[in-house]
Structures are given as structure tokens and as C-alpha cells.
A and B are shown apart, each in its own frame.
Chain A
Amino acid sequence: MNNETILQVQGLMTEFRTERGIVNAVNDVSFSLERGKTLGIVGESGSGKSVTNLSILKLIQYPPGRITAGQVIFKGENMFEWSEEEIRTVRGKHISMIFQDPLTSLNPVIKVWYQIAEALRLHHGMSKKEAKAKSIELLKLIGIPDAEQRADNYPHQFSGGMRQRVMIAMALSCDPEILIADEPTTALDVTIQAQILELIKNLSREKSTSVIMITHDLGVVADMCDSVCVMYAGRIVERAAIDDLFYAPQHPYTRGLLDSIPRIDRAGGSRLHTISGAPPNLIDIPPGCPFQPRCEKAMNICSKQSPPEFIINGDASRTAACWLHAKEYNNG
């Protein structure tokens, strides 16, 4: 298995200027994605996972959003040094995205085939006719029945699951190297969720597409990902290979998340665990660890100084940003 790194995000900072102050949505986030692998980014709403990924393609709307620091290295080149025009040629061709709500993410007044064909015509220079044929082919591939007829439909004539399939066809039309899926199943029924995940899994495996799977659903992570980053308040608090995360979580937040999953093997009647409190306001992040007010294991230092990412067991891809691991850090 070759472990070529295809995308590297380093020290990314993204802020939003609002009337109440500056929101530090993404605060010094770094991660890397290997070719053909699936990386999960988990976190609750507002933890900065979507903003992180929109920042990669510079799709943050300015104003109010602004990327203030960091690099995104795609195949050895820092995309943040490129012009807007150069980044545009990467979008949809090399790196494409699937969004959360397929109803609002598809243009309501443009025919389905045309929306799929656009990227093909732009990036592959296909004629309208070729692109339409290819779009119908893609619709068949993603499992739309009567694709020839349905191609001329508009998004509102499709069901939620079919719309998300269309989004997938659109994103994969140009065989991108990286697919960023931003909560692709959140707006869908549970039965449809499984089908959509299966579709993404199969298609990405076939073309060895790398996937960044953004979700708040640990079940999705377990199903799809090779490795995981857990985000909290705009930073990555823990990163791990998939098995390590579920069997040996190191950060109290991750542990809290895992304990909050209802489990079939645990005795009934016991109350489900919850993490008390609420995520911090990102406008005035207090000094120290952002999770400290909710943390069961908070120590003195936690409220004073923000923990760096400590490497665990000498493996650079296994980290936890928690003072509990300071000793290992000092020793190792």
C-alpha cells in the first residue's frame, strides 16, 4: 500500500467578522490525507469542520469569512499561493464536494442533467451532446431508474435520496482525486443514509478517490473511515486510526462522545451518558483548553494554558490535545 500524501492542511485559521466580534471558526488546524484513504472529521455543530473544508477550496464567502493563516498543499503545491483563477480550475476537477442538504444545494430552476454536465463541459471540454450522454450514464451508474427521462427533470421532482445521488454524480463526474463529503447523509432518512454511504464507498474505492468525510455521526465514521480527526471549538483535539479511536480514545471529549452512543450490548434501563454544558462561544474563547469547562478531568493547568497536540506512543498520526498526556509527551 503506498502512503502518498495527496493533501496537506497546515495551521489553517479561518475567522468570521460579525457584529458581536470575530468568530474564530477554525483555529490552527492541520491534517493530511493519503491517496485512496478516507479521513473522517467529526465534531458537533459549530466545531468548525465544514468551515475547515470550505477553506480548502477557498469557498468561504468574504465578507464576513476570511482565511487568516495556513497552507493547503495539494500534490506538493501550496494552493493558498495560487490565484483565484488557478484554484477555480481545481474545484470540481481535482477536488470536489458534496453538501449536506441536497434540496438547497441543487439549483431549482436548472435541469438535472445540465447541472451534472456543467463540470464535464468546463473541465473536459465536452460538447453539450457528449456531456448530456455522459450525464445520463452517470445517473444510471448512481442508480437512478429511467435515467434518460429523469435527466430532463428538475431537482424538485426527485426524492431526497435521489437528489443526494445526483449531487454525488455531479461531484464525481470529472473523476476527482479528492472528494469532500460534508455531512452527506444528515438530511436523509436512515435507510437512505446507508445506501448513500455505500454508494460513496464503492465509487471512491473503484477510482481510488481520497475522501474527507465530515460528519457528527460516529456510526458513519466507523463505517467509512480509515482515520479520524475529532474537532472541538475550531481545533483538532484528537487524531487516530479508526480502531484506536473507538477502542482507545485518549481525549476526554472523544471518550464523552463515545459514551454518549446508545449501545445494544449494555444493560437496558441505564440513562444515556451526556456531556454536560455547551460548546464555548467562539467569539471570546477563554484562555486554556476550550473543553475545560465541560471536562470531568479538568486540572489546574487546563484553565490557564491551551494544550498543544501531544503525540501518543511516538506515532505522529496519533495525537491528543490534552494536558493528561503531557507526561507521555515529556518522556517521549
Chain B
Amino acid sequence: MGRYVVRRLLSLIPVLFGVSLIVFFLVRLIPGTALEMYLGTQVEATPEQMEELKRIFGEDKPVPILYLEWLGDILRGDFGYSLRTGRMVLPDILSRLPLSLELTLFSLILALLIGIPLGIASSLRQNSFGDFVSRIGGLLGLSLPQFWLAALMVMVFSRFRGWIPMGNYVSFFDSPLQNIKMLFFPSLAIGIGFAAVVMRYTRNSMLEVLQMDYIRTAKAKGLKKPSVIYFHALKNAILPVITVTGFNAGYLLGGAIVIEEVFALPGMGRLALYAIYQRDYPIIQAVVMVIATLFVVVNLITDLVYALADPRIRLDDVVR
């Protein structure tokens, strides 16, 4: 197990190298350079001033050279300075990371809390009216865009009802209740689509497992219905749900980026969004590197959880 974790963490190195390559060249493919965005269309500058600005904005050398310089910097832990604010990139990102992580975690928990019970209930009453309703609901949840749902929530719950507290973000550790109040609806907006996915996976997986021979064995032992369903069946049916949760955790993090903007939450996503508007390359690059790292870590955690849940999986054998 320990060896497995170490190997997986070592795999971060090639992944991050690849990601750094892609993101560095990709952000420079967006039309308009950082300097052009900074200057706008109105400003006149002398050629000497332009040279100086280009140097400051890091546009005075060929892109491959710039890349190698940047790579050297980040290997030393230096992610550079924002082109707009002049502040150091890494501390800015790390200070905003907890909010984004919290949002992602909450939406994940909400999705599982909604999706798993509904999926079980649906599978137990297959093709009943309730099953039908929850499947339609699932389809809707999948189809509604997060940002639209978020905007709707802001309108209804914030403007008309005042259920979403306005004002500055409060950390969970300072005031848990206020924090949860602030993050509940944003998390719901992010998680509802995933709740639908979880519901459908749980339902299908339960339906399959309930046909298995070992369920018949459990019934033949005289076990009560709840222990057949919630122990014998669910313990098996949850396995594909774990896998899909792992895949989607990264997607939820991506959702957080847009939703933070809608609810005006000062997370990493909002930082990234503004950085993209302004072609603030160092910030975009660093955010993507952080997200890639999180992605690998989340996948690792998923695999570990899966191995805990399914005794047939032995991680040390799986490693190539």
C-alpha cells in the first residue's frame, strides 16, 4: 500500500511536466497578449516604452525560451508575479484554494447525500411512479447547466428571500454555521448534476446486484430486508459509485470556478477567471498546475477508497 502511494505520487512528475508544456503554449494561443490587454486600444507608447513594457510582460523572447525559464523557476518553487497586481502568484492562489476545495467537497457530499438514497429507493421500486419521477428528476438535474441554476438561485434565494448571506466570505473554522449558509446554495448548484449521475449509477448498480446469487443466499439465511439491502447489496452496489465519484471530483472543481463568479465568492476559480480575461499568464499557469496536482491526488484517493471497499483489489499488484 505504502509503495503504491509513493509510486502514484511519483507519477505526478511526468503528468505535471506534460501539463506545464500544454498550458504554457495553450494560454499563448488565446488571441491578444497580456500587454495588448493591458494597454487596450487607446494608449500610445513610444518604441522605447514598448520595449520596456514587453520586457516587463515577458514578451521579449521566443516562447520556447520563456517556457524553459519558467520551468526552471517553478522547479525552484518560484511561480513568479502577477502581471496585473505585481503580487506573488503562489500565496495568492494558496489563500484562495481552501474556499474552492471546500465548495468542491460540499458539493460532493451533497451530491452523494441526495444521489445514493434516491438511487436505492428508485431501485427498490423499479418502474413505479416514484422511480419514474426520480429518473425524470435525474435527467433534469443532468441537463440543467450549473451557471443557469446558480443564477436562478441567486435571484430567488438571495434577492427575494435573503437566504444566502451577503458580505465577505467567512471561513468554516471561524463560523461554521455562517460558512455553511454561504456555501450551501453554491454547493447545491455545482453538485446537483452530479447528484443525478450518482442517483442513476446507484439505481442501476443496485438493480444489478439485487439479481445476484449472494442476495438470494442472504435471503435464504433469513436475514431481514434492511440488512439484505443496506448491507449485502449496498456494499457491492456502491463500488461503481466510488469510481464515478472519483472521476467527477475534478469536474466539480471545474464547476466551482464558474459558480464562484456567480455567487461572488473569492475562490481560486474566480482568480483564474480574471486571470484569463486579462491574459495574466503566470496566474493561469499556476492555477492549472495546482488543479492538475489535485486531480492526480483525487484519483489516488479514489483508488485507495476503492481498495478499502473491495477486498478483491490489491493495489500492489495493479502497479505496472
Contact = CB atoms under 8 A, between A and B. Distances in A.
A92 B220 contact: yes
B222 A91 contact: yes
A108 interface: yes
B25 interface: no
A154 B212 CA distance: 17
A45 to B, nearest CB: 16
Contacts of B61: none
Contacts of B222: 88-93, 119, 122-123
A154 B214 CA distance: 13
Contacts of A322: none
Interface in B210-227: 211-214, 216-224, 227
Interface stretch (A75-83, A98-106, A247-255, A299-307): A98-106
A54 B219 CA distance: 11
B237 to A, nearest CB: 10
Per DSSP, chain A at the interface is mixed
Contacts of A167: 217
Interface stretch (B7-15, B167-175, B189-197, B304-312): B304-312
Given A107-B235, A110-B232, A154-B311, A88 B224 contact: yes
B219 A59 contact: yes
A267 interface: no
A109 B213 CA distance: 14
A96 interface: yes
**What class of interface size applies to chain A in its complex with B?**
20 to 34
B221 A107 contact: no
Interface string A28-58: 0000000000000000000000000010010
Contacts, number: 78
A91 B213 contact: no
Given A99-B213, A154-B311, A109 B236 contact: yes
B232 A57 contact: no
B301 to A, nearest CB: 19
Contacts of B217: 97, 99, 105-107, 167, 170
Contacts of B235: 107, 109-110
Given A99-B213, A105-B214, A107-B214, A57 B220 contact: yes
Nearest to B238: A109
Question: Which 10 pairs between the two chains have the least Cβ-Cβ distance?
Answer: A92-B222, A91-B222, A92-B221, A104-B213, A107-B214, A154-B311, A105-B213, A97-B220, A119-B221, A105-B217
Given A99-B216, A104-B212, 12 more contacts: A88-B224, A91-B221, A92-B220, A96-B221, A104-B213, A108-B310, A108-B311, A118-B218, A119-B221, A119-B223, A156-B311, A156-B312
25 contacts: A88-B222, A88-B223, A89-B222, A91-B220, A92-B222, A96-B220, A99-B213, A99-B217, A104-B212, A105-B216, A107-B217, A108-B214, A108-B236, A108-B312, A109-B239, A109-B310, A109-B311, A109-B312, A110-B231, A110-B232, A118-B218, A118-B223, A122-B224, A156-B311, A170-B221
